[in-house]
């Protein structure tokens, strides 16, 4: 995994702009701590930070193809899982290779098929290609949006990067927020609109899209989308197909020249992937290393609720023993979580989900000590329709994204002056309607089936990108790569048309996946009820963020103060609010602390 950045101008000579390019590239050193590369020409400047996973010597970037009459240059972040098959096809078509890297395969795929090369890729990727023949820049992003990519149009220039901070290192890109940006921050929270860069005149390449830029034209192309049609397979065929896809993608995603480990929560998703990976390791006489997260005093503090039905650790031990992994559990205390609260915000360049994201970052930091790559069970709930929301009328009939129903009180804590300028409810409905208009409908479905298909689309196209971005930023902040087998686009395409009744066979969420893992996992593990990602119950954490928020409220220079109702926030912070308290208060304070630091550290200019 890596970080990419660059700058294209059709009116300036960029060959003398090495210092600007180096600053942009250094801004994302954490994404690629092993090596830095830059390449400059008259109209293009590409930077790269490398985390070495495959072919240490042969995969250096930016990678240049030069036939003597023209050059094509690539800066790429990701992994192409089918690169071996693509390489064989390209060799048959006359291409010669100097390395064993997937980077060179991607470059030659572009040389052979042009922009259509993205349609042949199976992997996680974000890349930039400067084609000297056409004087054209191409920015491409993977099917589900696992790898991030932003860009900004400034006059005749295009500035781009894996992360916003790389672009802010360019003198033409300033951190400015307008009305829409604030509506994203306060109206949608951390689950933001795809393509919306939040900052003014900054955009994101959407998942399944590529963008080309020439001197006079910009073209946005959607190369992959979900297509609705009746599911052709019976239950047994569906189960075997899912199992086949997972076995194939896990095997492909274990390929690396650095150590690969697996995340293990004891839940169905990570346990199943761990079992498949462990089986592959045992074939080679190796032992898979696994990692989980827990919190100090969690056993005594734990309380069963709607999201978390039981403790993870007993199940983690059971799966580890069954698969035969070498397991390590990272135990965190409240002080560590408070101390590192702002790290994920700095990784994202945007406020995130607080404590849950912080613990994820600390887990990756620990894993990076012994490995470079990990498998994760992320996204199974989105693509298998595993959330309770798929079966609750309140959420199926909502006019906004279901996860926002618990955030509707956000506007109540804003200052009166900001409320006058932002209509958050209308903004939420507008963004929801945009997503609704994209849903590929299937004629003949019942009203309930149609609503569940819409819900599925919301989670795949809106919620999943947030989850993937969270995983990418928390891991890459430590120079660590996380792979997500459930995001194999072939599996996602297939599952899109599997009826929810079949997905939930045996009367349990993701029943079809549980059947697919038969033989890999013990029965009680296969049928363990879903339990959400763990969260600390330690009162010390809430006390820590309360103290922090009071310091912000007591400091008249705190940049967040003009945007919030300070009296209401003080009441919540002091535990005097009947409406927002306990875990709800913790989540809100987490977020506001990050917003304040974000406004301050990034020196953001707000235009309303």
Residues 6+ apart with CB under 8 A from 578: none
Residue 253 burial (CB < 10 Å; 0-12/13-18/19+)?
buried
CA distances from 502 to 239, 291, 455, 491, 512 (A): 10, 32, 16, 15, 7
The closest alpha carbon to 63, from 30, 34, 102, 95, belongs to: 102
The closest alpha carbon to 386, from 508, 249, 247, 497, belongs to: 508
Asked whether the beta carbons of 348 and 473 are under 8 A apart, the reply is yes
The closest alpha carbon to 195, from 146, 151, 257, belongs to: 151
CA distances from 240 to 55, 143, 235, 443 (A): 34, 24, 9, 27
Both tokens of 7, joined, read 């700058």
CA distances from 314 to 142, 298, 536 (A): 36, 12, 17
Residue 376 labeled ligand binder: yes
The residue whose two tokens read 């004087």 is: 135
Q: How does strand 260-263 pair with strand 373-375?
A: parallel
Please name every residue paired with 220 in a beta bridge, in sequence order, or none if there are none.
211
CA distances from 529 to 311, 375, 532 (A): 11, 22, 10
The closest alpha carbon to 266, from 327, 307, 308, 318, belongs to: 318
User: What is the C-alpha to C-alpha distance for residues 592 and 550, in angstroms, rounded to an integer?
Assistant: 11
Mutual angle of helices 83-92 and 102-113, in 10-degree steps = 50
Residue 377 labeled ligand binder: yes
Q: Report residue 277 CA to chain centroid gap.
A: 22
Asked whether the beta carbons of 2 and 106 are under 8 A apart, the reply is no
Please name every residue paired with 158 in a beta bridge, in sequence order, or none if there are none.
8, 153
User: What is the C-alpha to C-alpha distance for residues 550 and 531, in angstroms, rounded to an integer?
Assistant: 33
Asked whether the beta carbons of 351 and 186 are under 8 A apart, the reply is no
Residues 6+ apart with CB under 8 A from 270: 262, 263, 264, 376, 377
117 catalytic, yes or no? Answer: no
User: What is the C-alpha to C-alpha distance for residues 424 and 411, in angstroms, rounded to an integer?
Assistant: 7
Check 1, 2, 173, 407 and give the catalytic one.
Answer: 2
3-state secondary structure of 309: coil
Q: How does strand 605-606 pair with strand 176-177?
A: parallel
Q: Extract the annotated binding site for ATP.
A: 293, 376-377
Q: Extract the annotated binding site.
A: 102, 293, 376-377
List residues with catalytic annotation.
2
């Amino acid at each position: 995994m890596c970080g990419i950045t660059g700058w294209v101008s059709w009116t300036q000579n960029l060959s003398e702009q090495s210092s600007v390019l180096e600053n942009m590239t250094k801004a994302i050193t954490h994404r690629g701590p092993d090596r830095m590369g830059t390449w400059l020409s008259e109209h293009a400047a590409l930077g790269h930070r490398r985390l070495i996973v495959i072919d240490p010597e042969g995969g250096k970037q930016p990678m240049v193809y030069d036939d003597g009459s023209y050059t094509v240059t690539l800066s790429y972040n990701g992994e192409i899982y089918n690169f071996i098959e693509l390489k064989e096809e390209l060799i048959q078509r006359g291409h010669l290779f100097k390395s064993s890297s997937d980077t060179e395969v991607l470059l030659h795929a572009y040389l052979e098929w042009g922009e259509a090369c993205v349609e042949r890729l199976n992997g996680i990727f974000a890349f930039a290609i400067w084609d000297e023949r056409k004087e054209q820049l191409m920015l491409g992003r993977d099917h589900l949006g696992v790898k991030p990519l932003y860009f900004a149009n400034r006059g005749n220039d295009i500035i781009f990067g894996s992360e916003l901070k790389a672009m802010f290192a360019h003198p033409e890109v300033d951190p400015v927020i307008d009305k829409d940006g604030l509506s994203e921050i306060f109206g949608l929270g951390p689950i933001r609109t795809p393509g919306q860069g939040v900052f003014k005149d900054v955009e994101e390449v959407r998942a399944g899209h590529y963008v080309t830029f020439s001197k006079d034209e910009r073209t946005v192309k959607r190369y992959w989308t979900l297509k609705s049609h009746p599911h052709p397979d019976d239950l047994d065929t569906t189960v075997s197909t899912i199992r086949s896809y997972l076995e194939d993608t896990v095997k492909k995603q274990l390929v690396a020249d650095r150590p690969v480990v697996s995340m293990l929560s004891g839940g169905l998703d990570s346990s199943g992937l761990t079992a498949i990976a462990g089986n592959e390791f045992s074939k080679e006489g190796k032992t898979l290393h696994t990692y989980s997260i827990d919190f100090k005093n969690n056993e005594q503090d734990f309380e069963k609720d709607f999201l978390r039905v039981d403790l993870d650790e007993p199940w983690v031990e059971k799966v580890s023993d069954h698969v035969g992994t070498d397991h390590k559990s990272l135990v965190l205390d409240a002080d560590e979580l408070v101390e590192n609260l702002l790290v994920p915000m700095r990784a994202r360049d945007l406020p995130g989900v607080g404590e849950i994201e912080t613990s994820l970052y600390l887990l990756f930091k620990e894993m990076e000590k012994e490995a470079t790559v990990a498998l994760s069970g992320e996204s199974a709930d989105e693509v298998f329709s595993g959330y309770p929301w798929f079966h609750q009328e309140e959420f199926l009939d909502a006019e906004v994204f279901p996860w926002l129903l618990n955030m509707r009180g956000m506007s109540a804590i804003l200052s009166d002056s900001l409320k006058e300028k932002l209509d958050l409810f209308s903004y939420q409905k507008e963004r929801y309607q945009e997503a609704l208009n994209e849903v590929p409908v299937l004629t003949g479905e019942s009203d309930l089936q149609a609503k569940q298909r819409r819900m599925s689309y919301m989670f795949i196209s809106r919620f999943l990108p947030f989850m993937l971005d969270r995983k990418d930023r928390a891991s890459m902040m430590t120079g660590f790569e996380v792979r997500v087998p459930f995001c194999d686009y072939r599996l996602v395409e297939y599952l899109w048309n599997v009826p929810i009744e079949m997905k939930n066979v045996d009367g349990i969420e993701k029943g079809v996946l549980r059947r697919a893992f038969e033989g890999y996992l013990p029965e009680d593990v296969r049928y363990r009820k879903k339990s959400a990602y763990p969260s600390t119950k330690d009162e010390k954490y809430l006390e820590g963020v309360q103290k922090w928020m009071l310091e912000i409220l007591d400091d008249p220079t705190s940049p967040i103060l003009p945007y919030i109702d300070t009296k209401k926030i003080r009441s919540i912070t002091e535990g005097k609010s009947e409406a927002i308290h306990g875990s709800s208060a913790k989540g809100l304070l987490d977020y506001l602390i990050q917003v304040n630091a974000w406004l301050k550290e990034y020196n953001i200019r707000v235009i309303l």
